Amino acid sequence: MTIGSKAVSKLIVPIISNVVCLARSQFSTILFCSKMAVDNPDFKSATSIHEFTVKNIKGADVKLDIYKGHVCIIVNVASQCGLTANNYKQLNELYEQYAETKGLRILAFPCNQFAGQEPGNSEDIVCFAADRKVKFDLFEKIDVNGDNASQLWKFLKHKQGGTLGSSIKWNFTKFIVDKDGVPVERHGPNVDPKDLVKSLEKYWCLQIVSRKMAEANNPDYKSATSIHEFTVKNIKGEDVKLDVYKGHICIIVNVASQCGLTANNYKQLNELYEQYAESKGLRILAFPCNQFAGQEPGNSEEIVCFASERKVKFDLFEKIDVNGDGTNPLWKFLKHKQGGTLGNFIKWNFTKFIIDKNGIPVERHGPNVDPKDLVKSLEKYW
């Protein structure tokens, strides 16, 4: 049977059309990926991991400036490697021991470039990590070598070259990053996570020095008598002497943007401020905190955007710790003056302190107390 030229044309044209469409699609994808790469600095000119944006295991963008002030371990992981069980176990142990007390953060990047030992998709990797009760931060699967290497990993290798070249040699290569986001050490796959502690301690000591310098600008929380003696940083990073609140009744609260209590508390704090700021001189001081289930993960810019969308008018301050070694001096003072149930530590987001006109903490209310229910207490001090 012979096929006429028209019939051939009808067969070939759709095929060619599909090939062209596929080529266009691939080309568009390449262009899109190239544009996305612009979001990160050139790895050779960057000075800190805090300048980079990466995607977490859910595919959401994460600006690494959220790790400012934290010593970090960055590691390429795999689920089917001979080193997997030991490394995951010890990374878990490090995180559990030092995340709260020392502010350690671990950033794990799955990679399938070494003998195909991380073959799964994001969902598979999440399940694998969940089975091992992983609490540290997991990111999207990446390349660490080659033309498609993550810009962050190009930066890490540029700053901390390896033996016989800067390329990553195998799964579980570990970079230690100091509190300023500078890669300061590189350790090969043969180094157990537990053996990094001595190195980490060097940089934690630097953190302690930095914290002591900050505390030097504030009084000892045990001898202080008023919040007016303290200086804190606002959401823009500027120093604020709290004596600007002299003569005002204040509510001081630790806030979070992704908590089940967020919507109700922000709404009612807004209503309180609108109703009483002008007529009674009420002031509200909100301190973002990420210590409770990681429910305030954003940087200052993201927190400002979140607050702006909710038309917040009360005062926002820099993200802080309210518990642990890194607790902000003001919050040490608040807890010292108004202890809580079963210990002075803050139990959850939206713990509220009422401060009288002389700057003295006079009441403490738990997260379960709605802001509107503070009015009767506030009336005593007005």
> Active-site residues: which are they?
81
Closest by CA to 252, choosing from 163, 340, 317, 170, is 317
CA 149, 154, 160, 164 dihedral sign is positive
Angstrom CA distances, 40 to 32, 44, 54, 55, 62, stand at 14, 11, 9, 12, 12
Contacts (Cβ under 8 Å, ≥6 apart) of 162: 168, 169, 173, 186, 188
- How crowded is residue 348: how many other Cβ atoms within 10 Å of its Cβ? 18
Angstrom distance (rounded) from CA 125 to CA 110? 8
- Report the 10 Å Cβ neighbour count for 370: 16
Q: How far apart are CA 17 and CA 24, in angstroms?
A: 10
Q: How far is CA 56 from the centre of its chain?
A: 11
Report phi then psi at 92, rounded to 5.
Answer: -60, -45
User: Which structure tokens are listed for 291?
Assistant: 């210590």
Q: Give the whole-angstrom CA distance, residue 19 versus residue 29.
A: 15
